[in-house]
Amino acid sequence: MKDAKIIELEEVAIRFSGDSGDGMQLTGTLFSDASALFGNDISTFPDYPSEIRAPQGTVGGVSGFQVQFGQKQINTPGDYAHVLIAMNPAAVKANAKFMNPGGTIIFDVDSFNQKNLEKAAFKTEDPFTECDLVDYVKIPVPITSLTRESLKDYGMDNKSVLRSKNMFALGLVCWMFGRPLDYIEGYLKKKFAKKPLVVETNLKVLHDGYNYGMNMQHMTPRYMVHAAAIERGTYRNINGNQATAWGFLAAAEKSGLNLFQGSYPITPATDILTALAARKDLGVKTFQAEDEIAGICTAIGAAFAGNLAITTTSGPGLALKAEALGLSVMAELPLVVVNVQRGGPSTGLPTKTEQSDLLQTLYGRNGESPVVVIAASTPSDCFYYAFLSAKIAVERMVPVVLLTDGFLGNGSEPWRVPSMDELPEIKPRLAKSKDTFKPYKRDEETLSREWAVPGMEGFQHRVGGLEKNINGGVSHDPENHQANTIYRAEKVERVVEMLPKLEVCGDESGDLLVVSWGGTYGHTLSAVREMKMEGKSVSLAHFNFIKPLPKNTEEVFSRFKKIVVCELNMGQFSAYLRDKLPGFTYHQVNKVKGLPFTVLELKQNFNKLLED
């Protein structure tokens, strides 16, 4: 048979989608890892249903995983998918609006029966016309029946057979995009080492899917996306939660401190606890508390005892931790709180992304309770900002809140593994001289007190939520409280000396400055780069340091005619900027749909501002 024409692409986005029991997350992850090992730059976006087990076959139960990979730098998972793998009609309905015009839809034709069409609430027997997907390449593949045929000689029940459907789809897509199967084979053999039948059947279906594509070249196009040119080094595909955990591991080694995590499981932050619980070999202590309050209180106790102490949570959990976070402010103990933000309020959208906890993080405590606030911007740089958060906490004796979000925590990208020599040193402010030690005596430069750990003879002192004098005694003196309140606020502001200046991507001055923070980086950067190529005067200032703001923020803002702040909330960072830097007019682009921005919608908003 004559080989099908190979279509060369610079980048492509694929979306795997099906019922939450169809294994789409594993399928997408394995394809992404295989692409990263092939040498492509990648960015992923897992999209989980909010309900643990929504009714099978319904739109609410659809689970998706999108990956964009290419031979150039990839900053986002892609606005729209070039290829959709749909395991049922509900997957088509849920993802129709996320398809690139003229894209390809590979669907399990066996599942497109009347029963499943009704579950997905289609009104006709033609879901593609109903979803306005007429002008798309549609490839019907009998995935279910071919999987049954593949495993007919293994004596397995129907339910067990159909668990392997995702491997057939994975094999087919690997053929279409020239992905080698070696990594996937190795993963399955290791993952199911104690279940040889599972290994054998999944490998059989995987190869049958690959061979199906090879044999049906007349209907399945083949694409080539060449490897990207990247810096030499050791790479691995990593998601934001894992990167955060590893950042703390590196900080513990650099500081010479034991790492302690006290947390309560909450979506989407739980994977940080899971990752650290597996590292007892590195001396990590993890405590799964009975609630959010207990989680942070155990971490504060561990900080008092001289540990690198962290606690992790998401929005509702941060609200519960607020009182104890205030305690760490008053006690002036080093603590890192990681908030992997999700859609709210209350339980809201637990599996969807949002940036709606910023004002809660800055102001959501009683009294004057300033903390350092940092925000990571990509899945891999969660490692560096976790490391930096720990460094600031133990060197300046101050609580730090690290903001990530569901998009970063679950999304993945290639990460060059650094050597420990590349990371800066961390010097905890441990008390040294008992002759001069006073619990609340401050360093003149940083205003930080010393860290005296229980068991250090001659350094006994009281710690608690009541205001103290310099000797550690409870004080109700109004002048002392005024002075300490000013000290605690100024101590946070002086952390700015540890921070880099705000950098501008693009021209240093111009018509429009795009301002973003946290996990919106990839989309705002891509939008600005595309507009620069179109000749537009647009630049980007992306913030990772929220409190304190970088020293040169006001100076950067003053060089542009217009400023637009982009965030996945109703305008929290823009409100904060109006408070801190009131001399500017801040335009806004806001989105609260539980989804990241698209590059297209950002460009449309930016062009409108340039035209006004």
- Domain containing residue 31: CATH number: 3.40.920.10
- Compute the average pLDDT of residues 289-293: 97
User: Does 491 map to a domain?
Assistant: no
Give me 357's structure tokens: 């906890």
Question: Are 211 and 288 in the same domain?
Answer: no
In terms of Cα–Cα distance, which of 146, 147, 128 is closest to 138?
128
Domain boundary (224, 244, 260) is at 224
| 172-211 residue pLDDT tens | 999 999 999 999 999 999 999 999 999 999 999 999 999 9
Cα angle, residue 506 at apex, residues 505 and 508 outer, rounded to 5°: 100
Residue 313, C-beta contacts closer than 8 angstroms, at least 6 positions apart: 263, 264, 266, 269, 292, 295, 320, 321, 337, 338, 339, 340
| 528-549 residue pLDDT tens | 999 999 999 999 999 999 999 9
- Compute the average pLDDT of residues 476-500: 98
Are residues 587 and 562 in contact, defined by beta-carbon separation less than 8 angstroms?
Answer: yes
User: Does 417 map to a domain?
Assistant: yes
Task: List Cα–Cα distances, 38 to 178, 227, 538, in angstroms.
Answer: 9, 7, 34
Mean pLDDT of all residues in the chain? 94
User: Does 479 map to a domain?
Assistant: no
In terms of Cα–Cα distance, which of 361, 407, 346, 348 is closest to 382?
407
Q: Compute how many other C-beta atoms are within 10 angstroms of the C-beta atom of residue 523.
A: 24
Q: How far apart are CA 42 and CA 77, in angstroms?
A: 8
Question: Are 208 and 254 in the same domain?
Answer: no
Question: Are 219 and 247 in the same domain?
Answer: no
Is residue 219 very low, low, confident or very high in pLDDT (cuts 50, 70, 90)?
Answer: low
Residue 383, C-beta contacts closer than 8 angstroms, at least 6 positions apart: 238, 243, 244, 246, 247, 250, 415
Number of domains forming the structure of the chain: 3
Question: Are 557 and 603 in the same domain?
Answer: yes
Question: Are 81 and 135 in the same domain?
Answer: yes
Q: How far apart are CA 550 and CA 543, in angstroms?
A: 8
Give me 472's structure tokens: 């550690």
Question: Are 134 and 210 in the same domain?
Answer: yes
User: Does 429 map to a domain?
Assistant: no
Report helix, strand or coil for 125: coil
pLDDT at 1 over 60: no
Sheet holding 335-341, edge to edge: 285-288, 259-263, 308-313, 335-341, 399-405, 372-375, 545-547
Q: How far apart are CA 516 and CA 524, in angstroms?
A: 7
| 370-423 residue pLDDT tens | 999 999 999 999 999 999 999 999 999 999 999 999 999 999 999 999 999 999
In 211-279, where do the E strands start and end? 222-224, 235-239, 259-263
Q: How far apart are CA 484 and CA 539, in angstroms?
A: 41
Q: How far apart are CA 344 and CA 111, in angstroms?
A: 34
More confident residue, 115 or 55: 115
User: Does 260 map to a domain?
Assistant: yes
Question: Are 67 and 168 in the same domain?
Answer: yes
Question: Are 247 and 216 in the same domain?
Answer: no
pLDDT value for 218? 54
Domain boundary (422, 447, 479) is at 422
Task: List Cα–Cα distances, 533 to 34, 530, 550, in angstroms.
Answer: 31, 5, 28
Peptide linkage before 345 cis (omega within 30 of 0): yes
CA torsion sign for 240, 245, 251, 253 is: negative
In terms of Cα–Cα distance, which of 256, 167, 176 is closest to 216?
176
Angle separating helix axes 182-191 and 196-215, nearest 10 degrees: 160
Task: List the CATH number of the domain containing 564.
Answer: 3.40.50.920
User: Does 444 map to a domain?
Assistant: no
- Compute the average pLDDT of residues 28-46: 92
Domain boundary (364, 395, 422) is at 422
User: Does 488 map to a domain?
Assistant: no
Which residue do the tokens 């049958």 mark?
Answer: 208
CA torsion sign for 416, 419, 423, 428 is: positive
Q: How far apart are CA 254 and CA 382, in angstroms?
A: 17
- Structural domain boundaries enclosing 298: 236-422
| 63-110 residue pLDDT tens | 999 999 998 889 999 999 999 999 999 999 999 999 998 899 999 999
Question: Are 57 and 134 in the same domain?
Answer: yes
Question: Are 196 and 263 in the same domain?
Answer: no
Question: Are 27 and 125 in the same domain?
Answer: yes
Q: How far apart are CA 378 and CA 362, in angstroms?
A: 22
Instruction: State phi, psi for 524 to the nearest 5 degrees.
Output: -70, -40
Q: How far apart are CA 75 and CA 44, in angstroms?
A: 10
User: Does 437 map to a domain?
Assistant: no
pTM greater than 0.85: yes
Instruction: State phi, psi for 44 to the nearest 5 degrees.
Output: -120, 160
Q: How far apart are CA 274 and CA 276, in angstroms?
A: 6
pLDDT value for 220? 65
Angle separating helix axes 521-533 and 599-611, nearest 10 degrees: 50
Question: Are 241 and 102 in the same domain?
Answer: no
Task: List the CATH number of the domain containing 295.
Answer: 3.40.50.970
Q: Compute how many other C-beta atoms are within 10 angstroms of the C-beta atom of residue 352.
A: 23
